[in-house]
Amino acid sequence: MGSIFAQEKTADARANWISGEVSVIGGGARYERMLGSNLSVGANVYFSGFFLGNDLGIDASVRFYPWGTTFFAGAGVGYHQHQAFDGEYGTNYNYTTRGVGITPEAGWKIDLGNAGGFFIQPGIKVPITLGKTEAFPSVPNLTIKTNFGVGFNLVPYIGAGYAF
What is the average pLDDT across 156-163? 95
State the Cα angle at 122 between 119 and 124, rounded to 5°. 145
Residue-wise pLDDT tens digits, 65-105:
999 989 999 999 999 999 887 644 445 568 899 999 999 99
pLDDT of residue 132: 92
CATH architecture of 16-163: Beta Barrel (2.40)
pLDDT of residue 86: 60
Q: What span, in angstroms and rounded, lies between the C-alpha atoms of 67 and 40?
A: 13
**Of residues 49 and 82, more confidently modeled:** 82
Asked if pLDDT for residue 56 goes beyond 90, the answer is yes
Q: What span, in angstroms and rounded, lies between the C-alpha atoms of 84 and 6?
A: 44
Q: Return the beta strands (E) in the chain as ranges.
A: 16-23, 25-34, 39-50, 53-64, 71-85, 93-108, 110-111, 117-125, 128-137, 145-152, 155-163
Return the DSSP state at 144.
-
Return the DSSP state at 9.
P
Confidence of residue 1 (pLDDT cuts 50, 70, 90): very low
pLDDT of residue 82: 92
158 near 120, Cβ under 8 Å? Answer: yes
135 near 155, Cβ under 8 Å? Answer: no
pLDDT of residue 3: 45
pLDDT of residue 29: 98
- Closest to 27 in 3D by CA, of 57, 70, 60: 57
User: What are the structural domain ranges in the chain?
Assistant: 16-163
Cα separation values, 62 from 33, 65, 95, 102, 107, Å: 9, 10, 30, 12, 13
Cα separation values, 162 from 14, 71, 85, 90, 139, Å: 10, 17, 37, 45, 48
- Look at the chain and count its residues: 164
pLDDT of residue 4: 46
Asked if pLDDT for residue 159 goes beyond 70, the answer is yes
Residue-wise pLDDT tens digits, 114-147:
777 899 999 999 999 999 988 877 666 666 777 8
Q: What span, in angstroms and rounded, lies between the C-alpha atoms of 152 and 158?
A: 19
